[in-house]
Amino acid sequence: MVIASLTRIKMINIFTIIVALFIGAAAGYLGSAMVLKRMSLVGDALSHVALPGMALAMLYNMNPFIGAFVFLVFGILLVWKMEKSTKLPIENLVGIIFTASLAIGILITPEPELIEALFGDIASISFWDFPIIIICSLVIFFITRRIIKPIVFSIISDDLARVRKINIDYYNLLYLLMVAVIVALGVKFIGSLLMGALVIIPAAAAKNIGGSLKTYSYGAGIIGGLSSVSGVFISGLFGIPSGAAVVLTAVFIFILMLLYKKLKQVVA
């Protein structure tokens, strides 16, 4: 058993570690704004809409990233448009559209690939996925870095944002598109059912640290990267799906940060 575990760990190459680091860090950094906007449930449900796209891509022998991204963008644009035209809360629209997408995805996903599509498999990431993930992760980081302050202004007060001539609709749409990209990147690694958790949990953990917006957002990115890399090693060691290992590692770090916050309050 020990020899088998060591063999699995040896199969984890440098490309796997880099992919895990970039996806986790980008997801955590992006999620810092999502937690501030109180859109955690939106982020979780958003990952579900990727499943039908992945299923169709598998059926036509395409890269699942392409199918997931196309469906995610379509879902986001649909929700964004319906929110503006119907004035319904975004949570209601997400609950209807994205959960329906999950149901459709389960029906059309080929059964042998269903578990992998739902929970991810780090081994399914090919060498050609590597440059796409690195470039897109860097783009997500730099765009999020530029738009996070306007988003925070809109969270504090819509009127304040408009006084500063901030186009709230534009920044919200751009932010949701960045979420679509990171979810599409991560579905092969974490799975469509769990990818939303990688966006939310590191940011929730970093919130327990406190400090400035910069400290919080960078802390979320660090925790996301650490969770992903640690989860990959745990997945290799115990032979469990990489998505489950990464998310449980993130949850463990969240609990540690929560205990740290409680201890800090007691000492103070």
pLDDT at 44: 66
pLDDT at 53: 79
- Residue 4, Cβ density class (10 Å: 0-12 exposed, 13-18 middle, ≥19 buried): exposed
Tell me the C-alpha distance between 143 and 48, whole Å.
24
CATH classification of 2-267 is 3.40.50.2300, yes or no?
A: no
Q: Where are the domains of the chain?
A: 2-267
Helix axes 195-207, 14-36, angle to 10 degrees: 60
Q: Count of residues for the chain?
A: 268
Residue 1 in this model has a pLDDT that exceeds 70: no
- Residue 80, Cβ density class (10 Å: 0-12 exposed, 13-18 middle, ≥19 buried): middle
Contact 166, 155 (CB under 8 A): no
* pLDDT tens per residue across span 207-262: 887 677 788 889 999 999 999 999 888 887 887 777 888 889 999 999 998 888 88
* pLDDT tens per residue across span 167-210: 777 887 888 888 888 888 887 777 777 787 888 899 889 888 76
* pLDDT tens per residue across span 54-80: 777 777 777 777 888 888 888 778 777
Tell me the C-alpha distance between 212 and 241, whole Å.
35
Q: Where are the alpha helices (DSSP H) in the chain?
A: 2-10, 14-36, 40-46, 50-59, 64-86, 90-108, 111-119, 129-156, 158-163, 168-186, 195-207, 213-238, 242-267
Sorting pLDDT into bands at 50, 70 and 90, what band is 6?
very low
Residue 8 CB coordination number (10 Å): 16
pTM across the whole model: 0.82
Mean pLDDT confidence for 134-148: 89
* pLDDT tens per residue across span 83-95: 666 666 666 666 6
pLDDT at 125: 72
Share of the chain above pLDDT 70, in %: 78
